[in-house]
Amino acid sequence: MHLRRLISALACALATGGLALPALAQGSYPERPVKVMVALPAGGSADMIARVVSQKLAAELGQPFVVENRAGASGQIGLPAVARAPADGYTLTISPASFLTTNKSIFKSLPYDPQADFVPITKLVNQPMVLVVKDRQKFPSVAALLAAAKAAPGKLTYASSGDGSPQHLAALMFETRTKASMLHVPYKGGAPAVNDTLAGNVDMLFAVLPEALPHIQSGKLHALGLLSPQRSPVLKDTPTMAESGFADLNLSAWVGLLAPAKTPPAVIDKLNRAVHGILAGDIRTKLGENGMEVAPTTPQQLQQTIAEEIKLHAELVKAAGLTPQ
């Protein structure tokens, strides 16, 4: 199912009560609309997840949860706006992992501190990465693509949704572990990166699976390999990187829900319980059909994940010889 159809399906289910959830203990929060900032353009997987979850939160908590896209500079426009917002639960962010983890290593300085300026609420989903190309005849396999990259170092191009993004990190991992050299072409989000891959303006994309899946299923893009330990239920014929002879090429692009630091614990707890209830319903199956793995956590677990990945990604960026901008 295309991601855009998912929103319509959920809207129908909400209208008919088909996704009813247990009522939460009623408190004063929220008493007015809540802004959910996404520091990426509309159309990518993080944006789609934000809209689905926001719609469900509105139905559950009785106030609008309004998604606002503020894209640019790999999260450095939208996330500072959230960090500076009042810590009252009325401004939240649904963010890809990279803005909270890899950015610390990619940039010399950030206008926000991923750990000090935000309090995690919960992880929402894990999303496998998949290497895709438009020209199936030119690149029929990962091995063929690697051979072409080594034959012309720095000539093959790969798209990403920006510096430090999961797409960029996946490509750095591929380059480091295969000793290949390719040219990075960053965009302002996953959707434009996919669109230029579809147009043939770049050779490849290490895509977040939900963003590439409709185009793989339609035959417009060709999936060469999954950067995950096992095959995906929605791409059963696509081998993992390990099956293609490239071990230790695993990366998941998770998406999480966070609030400004010092947001009251009662608000964090209420949002955490609401999202856990939402993700336990029929939405789990619908998200799975789009290549996403529902992965709710406690705030403490997400906080630990961010801390661990900041260290891991710093090591990868250093190994790749990438100079912070």
Percent of the chain predicted with pLDDT > 90: 74
Taking only the tens place, the pLDDT of each residue in 277-304 is 999 988 898 899 989 999 999 999 999 9
Q: Where along the chain do its domains lie?
A: 3-127+254-318, 129-251
Q: What is the mean pLDDT of residues 7-13?
A: 50
Question: Residue 205 in 3-state DSSP?
Answer: strand
Does 3-127+254-318 match 129-251 in CATH topology? yes
**Residues 43, 73 contacting (CB under 8 angstroms):** no
- Cα angle at 166 between 271 and 65, to 5 degrees? 25
The CATH number of 129-251 is 3.40.190.10
Query: How would CATH label the architecture of 3-127+254-318?
Result: 3-Layer(aba) Sandwich (3.40)
> pLDDT grade, residue 146 (50/70/90)?
very high
Question: Residue 183 in 3-state DSSP?
Answer: strand
Q: Is the pLDDT of residue 25 over 80?
A: no
Q: Is the pLDDT of residue 190 over 90?
A: no
pTM, full prediction: 0.80
Among 21-35, 55-69, 131-145, 250-264, whose mean pLDDT is lowest? 21-35
Q: What is the mean pLDDT of residues 153-179?
A: 91
Q: Is the bond preceding 30 in cis, omega lying within 30 degrees of 0?
A: yes
Backbone angles phi, psi at 21, to 5 degrees: -125, 155
